[in-house]
Amino acid sequence: MNPYVPGSDITSCEACHGPGSVHAEDEEIEAIINVEMLRNMDGIQRDAMCLQCHVTRHAGWSEGPHQGTGVSCADCHADQIHYRVQPKPVAQFRNESEFCIQCHATEVTDFRLPFRHRVLEGQIMCGDCHDPHNGFPTDGWNGLNETCLGCHTEMAGPFVFEHDGVQSEDCITCHKPHGSTHDKLLVTDSNTLCLQCHYESGFNADENWSIGGYPHAVETGLVQNEGRCYDCHTEIHGSNVAPSFMDQ
């Protein structure tokens, strides 16, 4: 067995099992933290034991996605305790994200929807967006949006004409990050989504379909002919050209 605590420079069994001298002097060998005692610890106690050495993980764990869910370090890393190996070799899976979806079965369904991030195909990994030990960043622009904008840089701006809704909301207000039945990973069809904010009293009162003082009647094809808002308002996240977020 490798005497190192994986991920640290600590070489002592006592880090997890308690003082060896006390153990050696105890005829009943009860003064040792043995496997049974470790097994009977709750998740918080087991995590605390790991985090006393893995201090770089400690800072983010309390805000991380697994803390408080009943998932402990050992659920993913149990076979690493005495050996310098991965939880399970990535080679056992078609891609590394399949380690995560062993538990996250709901996301597997999303990854099979018509519009999706292609995780099952291995083109993107869970770890590209999620750090299993830390929560989403909160010290940047609008919290978790920092994660999305790490790839979707063209949406970050700044723009001459900012879309107030984009600036004040998280990306997931409009988009389902794992998968959707709607184009562009939208949470609902585009017009329904846009009209949640842009609906006006008197809309269609005179069959002119007026929004923002502009007619959206039959000649535009927007509403009656199944046109989508972003067919015209193509720069929906922000524009350097037009306040209407049109490309001209």
pLDDT one-digit tens code per residue, 166-185: 877 888 889 999 999 999 99
* pLDDT value of position 127: 87
Handedness of CA 37, 33, 132, 79 (dihedral sign): negative
Partners of residue 179 on adjacent β-strands: 116
* pLDDT value of position 185: 94
Distance of CA 227 to the CA centre of its chain: 32
CA dist 212 and 215 (Å) reads 8
Quote the pTM value: 0.74
85 conformational bin, left if phi > 0, alpha if psi -120 to 50, beta if neither: beta
Average pLDDT over residues 148-167: 87
* pLDDT value of position 1: 45
CB atoms closer than 10 angstroms to residue 117: 21
Tokens of 89: 């070799």
Average pLDDT over residues 33-49: 80
Beta strands in the chain (DSSP E): 115-116, 161-162, 179-180, 210-211, 214-215, 238-239
Domain boundaries, given as residue ranges, for the chain: 1-87, 89-135, 136-239
